[in-house]
Amino acid sequence: MSNLKKFIEGMPKAELHLHIEGSLEPELMFSLAQRNNITLPFSSVEEVRAAYEFSELQDFLDIYYQGMGVLQTEQDFYDLTWAYLTKIHSQNVIHTEIFFDPQGHTDRGIPFETVIGGIHKALQDGQSKLGISSHIIMCFLRHLSEEAALETLEQALPHKDKIIGVGLDSSELGHPPSKFERVFARAKQEGFLAVAHAGEEGPPEYVGEALDLLKIDRLDHGNRSLEDDALTQRLVSMQIALTVCPLSNYKLAGVKDMRKHPLKKMLDKNLKATINSDDPAYFGGYMNENYLAVFDALDLSKDEIMTLAKNGFNATFCNDAQKTEMLAQLESFESQWT
Ligand code: HPA
Ligand code: ZN
């Protein structure tokens, strides 16, 4: 293994784009199905993995919503989150900001409290037992109505202390950010920060709407922003970070050859790109695999790897003292590297 690969694996990292339901590995899916007396439409872990062939976002989403059906009790959400935390601990992730999709559960009759309770308890243990700090971001499913999102926001208010921000995910095309302008205005009024998936499959105009109408503090994916020079310049001057997810882009076929991944172009244009895993159980890798995929394909330098890692810490929703402390850990790791 090259020296730089070891550097990537060992360096402290922040993850900023991770759907906790997308970290459900087939093995856990089977054991939760058994625990909850649910029959899966698959007979083995291998069969589940073989079904993970996607040609676009919707193919993935269909199987992702089906998979999360095994999550029923607070303990299930705890176990899911704890499995993710132990995995990223082994990859030297020291801070994570995770998404969850409350409507994917409340629409199946699982109470909001059950979901947030299990996730939050695991994150508390992640801090005390593994030293991983974290924030929770609640996403609205954009294929559902504005009214449903508003209802979900109301359900979240008693848990405001556990949720730092709101996001927007699911089927992008045909569901522009403008559909949720009032929801995000209300969320901002309540003190939530805001992020949104935009420019993953959708056009650059959706990224513009996310900035102008949703007033996002960070952009999820954002790949298609590069098609519009003025928009790109705006993102640079506003210092909006992009949470890029290389293996997700590859698996959902936006990027057919990793050597053509736009990450290098983003860095060259001074966009604040970060590396993240999105739905690691479905796309074939956690943080290190995502870093290594672009490192190999784009021949990134150590300086570029450091820039990505620094962008990650700078783009967290942590206070300045914590950002400084995490950046110092990264620099100390680099200075000890031979
Ligand atoms: N895009 C949109 N919605 C999602 C994703 C994604 O990559 N993962 C989980 N929900
Ligand atoms: Zn995502």
pLDDT at 259: 97
Largest CA-CA distance found in the chain, in angstroms, rounded: 56
Q: Are 19 and 100 in contact (CB under 8 A)?
A: yes
User: Quick one: which ligand is closest to 67's CA?
Assistant: 1
Q: Are 280 and 286 in contact (CB under 8 A)?
A: yes
Instruction: Dump pLDDT digits (tens) for 59-107.
Output: 999 999 999 999 999 999 999 999 999 999 999 999 999 999 999 999 9
Average of per-residue pLDDT across 228-253: 97
- Three-state DSSP class for residue 149: helix
Instruction: Dump pLDDT digits (tens) for 47-58.
Output: 999 999 999 999
Q: Are 40 and 69 in contact (CB under 8 A)?
A: no
Distance 128 CA to ligand 2 centre (A): 27
Of all residues in the chain, the percent with pLDDT exceeding 90 is 98
Give, for ligand 1, the residue of 64, 98, 277 to mutate: max count of ligand atoms closer than 8 Å to Cβ. 64
β-sheet bridge partners, residue 161: none
Half-sphere exposure (Cβ direction) of 207: Cα atoms closer than 13 Å:
27
> Which atom of ligand 1 sits closest to the CA of residue 200?
1
Stretch (H or E) spanning 314: helix 302-314
pLDDT at 174: 98
Distance 244 CA to ligand 2 centre (A): 9
Instruction: Dump pLDDT digits (tens) for 118-130.
Output: 999 999 999 999 9
Selecting among 15, 21, 74, 200, the annotated active-site residue is 200
Distance 1 CA to ligand 2 centre (A): 30
Nearest CA to ligand 1 atom 4: 170
Could you tell me which of 18, 5, 84, 4 has the C-alpha nearest to residue 316? 18
Average of per-residue pLDDT across 265-274: 98
Give, for ligand 1, the residue of 68, 279, 282, 283 to mutate: max count of ligand atoms closer than 8 Å to Cβ. 279
- Distance, CA of 216 to CA of 187 (rounded, Å): 11
Cα dihedral value 227, 231, 234, 236, nearest 10: -10
pLDDT at 1: 55
Q: Is the pLDDT of residue 310 over 90?
A: yes
> Which atom of ligand 1 sits closest to the CA of residue 101?
10
User: Quick one: which ligand is closest to 60's CA?
Assistant: 1
- Distance, CA of 40 to CA of 222 (rounded, Å): 34
- Distance, CA of 295 to CA of 301 (rounded, Å): 8
Q: Which residues line ligand 1 (CB under 6 A)?
A: 19, 22, 57, 64, 169-170, 197, 200, 248, 278-279
> Which atom of ligand 1 sits closest to the CA of residue 19?
9
15 in catalytic set = no
- Three-state DSSP class for residue 93: strand
Q: Are 97 and 16 in contact (CB under 8 A)?
A: yes
Instruction: Dump pLDDT digits (tens) for 184-233.
Output: 999 999 999 999 999 999 999 999 999 999 999 999 999 999 999 999 99
Q: Are 122 and 81 in contact (CB under 8 A)?
A: yes
Give, for ligand 1, the residue of 24, 58, 60, 251 to mutate: max count of ligand atoms closer than 8 Å to Cβ. 60
Mean pLDDT of the chain: 97
pLDDT at 2: 73
Q: Within a 10 A sphere around the Cβ of 62, how many other Cβ atoms?
A: 12
- Distance, CA of 80 to CA of 273 (rounded, Å): 28
Distance 71 CA to ligand 1 centre (A): 18
Could you tell me which of 315, 139, 167, 313 has the C-alpha nearest to residue 241? 315
Q: According to the CATH classification, is domain 3-325 in 3.20.20.140? A: yes
Distance 169 CA to ligand 1 centre (A): 5
- Distance, CA of 71 to CA of 22 (rounded, Å): 12
Instruction: Dump pLDDT digits (tens) for 23-47.
Output: 999 999 999 999 999 999 999 999 9
pLDDT at 28: 98
- Distance, CA of 52 to CA of 283 (rounded, Å): 8
Could you tell me which of 267, 329, 273, 338 has the C-alpha nearest to residue 16? 273
Residue 98 CB partners (closer than 8 Å, separation 6+) = 15, 18, 19, 20, 81, 84, 119, 123, 134, 135, 136, 137
Distance 219 CA to ligand 1 centre (A): 13
Nearest CA to ligand 1 atom 10: 170
- Three-state DSSP class for residue 136: strand
53 φ, ψ to 5°? -120, 115
Tokens of 129: 């037992």
pLDDT at 253: 76
- Three-state DSSP class for residue 187: helix
Distance of CA 254 to the CA centre of its chain: 17
pLDDT at 25: 98
- Distance, CA of 86 to CA of 25 (rounded, Å): 13
